[in-house]
């Protein structure tokens, strides 16, 4: 009983939130590099250039680019079985539409993967995590343009070939469903004001086709590769048993399932097609797209889970502050994090069950964690019991899903295993890590790494394969 012996315990990150070195060794600018501090949640003033006098958190981030050895050694000390990271597309193809990749960029990830493998840590790679080469955004309109499929395929062919024997687990797009909420991050186009549904769903279609194509491509290069999808997934509850609210919650879940249906069942759901019809949205498909989607079903489902949401029919109900993807109203049974995310460990068991029930594919919890303010005690320690409690309760519920409900879970990677830049706010203060990084919201600090109390706790969780919580 308990977790399988080969369960992938580890931590998760994304390139633009950790690497820094934003122009090193031939890297091009990415969409993340022009998002100044303070404009993260609501990027209303996108300028597509780096402006003097502004602070851009991705430019240095936590300087993983130069400190990866030290960081990976600490992950190994915790006993990580895997490390989820993303590749920065603009390191490999600085503009995105070149024929030939940037060798120095490829070498960097060779070094990172070799370092992981040295400790027996399996890299889990997100191919596109909230960044696109800026040139593709400004010249082609990002994923609104079908040509992105060809650029992405070339990028993937390069990665799969180069890292054929180093990387087994891949995910095609981080939180693919976020394209409708945050198209700049997830699709390299638009701003909040420009949202019209038509543009976002057409861009999503291009990502679906691109993803399906490279799922197939990976198998031709190394049949052992496992290529997954990745979605921001969480339960939506009705505030009461009023059937109207129950229906609202069910519809909200259908909207999430749309992305899963395409990537795990190979087709658009009837529900979504009807919604498109009502809203006058037409997806332009080319001949062969439907077949590509059917043939490119993913091998596993990766998802992020932080909090659940509640919907209501009540007017003026107090909203939960959450971030823009989450939202909803207050749940009186749950406590919220400092950033308003309503913490709900049982929600994890609920969604593990519903995902497995619907798709019967292995599940991978690739993001879960608590963003909190940490303080350093006078003796230099960081007593982050709140983080331990959050993760402990989530692992407990995940364990029930495995042991009691028979759900197939491949692994668990805690988000931001080392403190990193927040996507939602651009802050450093919103810390998720087992490892503290000395840097503040304005970019000051020595970048020194400090083990928090949760570091030893997580080490013991992994060593006991989830028995000692």
Name the one range near ligand BG6 by CB under 6 A: 193-201, 345-353, 355-363, 417-425: 417-425
Q: Which contacts (CB < 8 Å, 24+ apart) does range 146-151 have?
A: 146/206, 146/286, 148/206, 148/210, 149/206, 149/209, 149/210, 149/213, 151/93, 151/96, 151/97
Name the one range near ligand BG6 by CB under 6 A: 71-79, 382-390, 415-423, 460-468: 415-423
CA atoms within 13 A on the CB side of 321: 8
Contact 68, 443 (CB under 8 A): no
175 is an active site residue: yes
- Choosing from 19, 60, 175, 397, which is the catalytic residue? 175
Least separation, in Å, of the C-beta of 316 and ligand BG6? 27
Is the Cβ of residue 8 or residue 14 nearer to ligand BG6 in the bound state? 14
Site map 421..460 versus ligand BG6, x via CB under 6 A: -xxxx----x------------------------------
175 binds ligand BG6 (CB under 6 A): yes
Cα–Cα distance for residue pair 229/266, rounded to 1 Å? 12
Is the Cβ of residue 126 or residue 202 nearer to ligand BG6 in the bound state? 126
Binding-site size, ligand BG6 (CB under 6 A): 15
Cα–Cα distance for residue pair 415/434, rounded to 1 Å? 10
Least separation, in Å, of the C-beta of 339 and ligand BG6? 7
Contact residue for ligand BG6 among 174, 263, 368, 413 (CB under 6 A)? 174
Tokens of 422: 């927040």
Least separation, in Å, of the C-beta of 309 and ligand BG6? 14
Tokens of 259: 């992305």
14 binds ligand BG6 (CB under 6 A): yes
Tokens of 428: 């450093």
Tokens of 285: 């498909």
Is the Cβ of residue 162 or residue 185 nearer to ligand BG6 in the bound state? 185
99 is an active site residue: no
Residue number of the CB atom closest to ligand BG6: 424
417 binds ligand BG6 (CB under 6 A): no
130 binds ligand BG6 (CB under 6 A): yes
Least separation, in Å, of the C-beta of 174 and ligand BG6? 5
Name the one range near ligand BG6 by CB under 6 A: 75-83, 307-315, 389-397, 419-427: 419-427
Helix boundaries (H) for 404-465: 453-463
Q: Which three-class secondary structure state does DSSP give residue 112?
A: helix
- Print burial letters for 372-407: b (CB count within 10 Å at least 16), e (below 16): bebeeeeeeebebebbbebbbbbbebbbbbbeeeeb
Cα–Cα distance for residue pair 255/234, rounded to 1 Å? 12
Residue of 377, 387, 463, 395 whose CA lies nearest to 418: 387
The interface with ligand BG6 within residues 212-241 (CB under 6 A) comprises 232
DSSP state of 455: H
Q: What is the CA radius of gyration of the chain?
A: 21
Q: Read off φ and ψ for residue 199, nearest 5 degrees.
A: -65, -45
Q: Beta 82-86 vs 435-437: how paired, if at all?
A: unpaired
Cα–Cα distance for residue pair 73/77, rounded to 1 Å? 6
Name the one range near ligand BG6 by CB under 6 A: 58-66, 75-83, 94-102, 418-426: 418-426
390 binds ligand BG6 (CB under 6 A): no
- Choosing from 115, 239, 245, 367, which is the catalytic residue? 367
Contact residue for ligand BG6 among 88, 102, 144, 304 (CB under 6 A)? 304
Contact 226, 168 (CB under 8 A): yes
Least separation, in Å, of the C-beta of 415 and ligand BG6? 6
The interface with ligand BG6 within residues 243-302 (CB under 6 A) comprises none
Query: Which residues participate in catalysis according to the annotation?
Result: 175, 367
Interacting residues toward ligand BG6 by CB under 6 A:
14, 130, 174-175, 232, 304, 323, 367, 371, 415, 422-425, 430
């Amino acid at each position: 009983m308990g977790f399988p012996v080969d369960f992938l315990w580890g931590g998760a990150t994304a390139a633009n939130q950790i690497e820094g070195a934003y122009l090193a060794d031939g890297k091009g600018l990415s969409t993340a590099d022009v998002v100044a501090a303070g404009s993260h949640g609501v990027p209303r003033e996108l300028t597509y250039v780096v402006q003097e006098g502004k602070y851009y958190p991705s430019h240095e981030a936590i300087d993983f680019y130069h400190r990866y050895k030290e960081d990976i050694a600490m992950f190994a000390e915790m006993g990580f079985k895997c490390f989820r990271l993303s590749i920065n597309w603009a390191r490999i193809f600085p503009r995105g539409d070149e024929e030939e990749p940037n060798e120095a960029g490829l070498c960097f990830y060779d070094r990172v993967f070799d370092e992981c493998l040295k400790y027996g840590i399996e890299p889990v790679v997100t191919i596109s995590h909230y960044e696109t080469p800026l040139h593709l955004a400004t010249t082609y309109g990002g994923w609104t343009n079908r040509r992105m499929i060809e650029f992405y395929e070339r990028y993937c062919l390069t990665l799969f070939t180069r890292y054929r024997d180093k990387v087994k687990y891949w995910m095609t797009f981080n939180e693919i469903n976020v394209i409708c909420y945050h198209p700049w991050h997830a699709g390299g186009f638009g701003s909040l004001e420009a949202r019209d549904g038509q543009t976002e769903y057409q861009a999503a279609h291009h990502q679906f086709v691109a993803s399906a194509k490279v799922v197939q491509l990976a198998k031709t290069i190394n049949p052992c590769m496992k290529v997954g999808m990745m979605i921001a997934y969480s339960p939506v509850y009705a505030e009461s048993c009023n059937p109207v609210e129950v229906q609202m919650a069910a519809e909200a879940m259908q909207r999430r399932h749309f992305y899963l249906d395409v990537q795990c069942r190979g087709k658009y759901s009837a529900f979504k097609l009807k919604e498109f019809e009502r809203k006058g949205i037409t997806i332009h498909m080319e001949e062969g797209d439907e077949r590509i989607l059917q043939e490119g079903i993913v091998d596993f489902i990766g998802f992020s889970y932080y909090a659940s949401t509640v919907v209501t029919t009540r007017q003026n109900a107090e909203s939960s502050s959450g971030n823009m993807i989450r939202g909803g109203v207050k749940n009186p049974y749950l406590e919220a994090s400092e950033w308003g995310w309503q913490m709900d460990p049982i929600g994890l068991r609920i969604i593990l069950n519903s995902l497995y029930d619907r798709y019967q594919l292995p599940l991978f919890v690739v993001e879960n964690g608590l963003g909190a303010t940490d303080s350093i005690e006078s003796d230099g320690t960081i007593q982050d019991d709140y983080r331990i409690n959050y993760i402990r309760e989530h692992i407990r519920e995940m364990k029930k899903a495995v042991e009691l409900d028979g759900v197939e879970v491949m692994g668990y990677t805690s988000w931001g295993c080392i403190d990193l830049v927040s996507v939602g706010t651009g802050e450093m203060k919103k810390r998720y890590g087992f490892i503290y990084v000395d840097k503040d919201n304005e970019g000051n600090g020595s970048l020194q790494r400090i083990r928090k109390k949760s570091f030893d706790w997580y080490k013991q969780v992994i060593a006991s394969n989830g028995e000692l919580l």
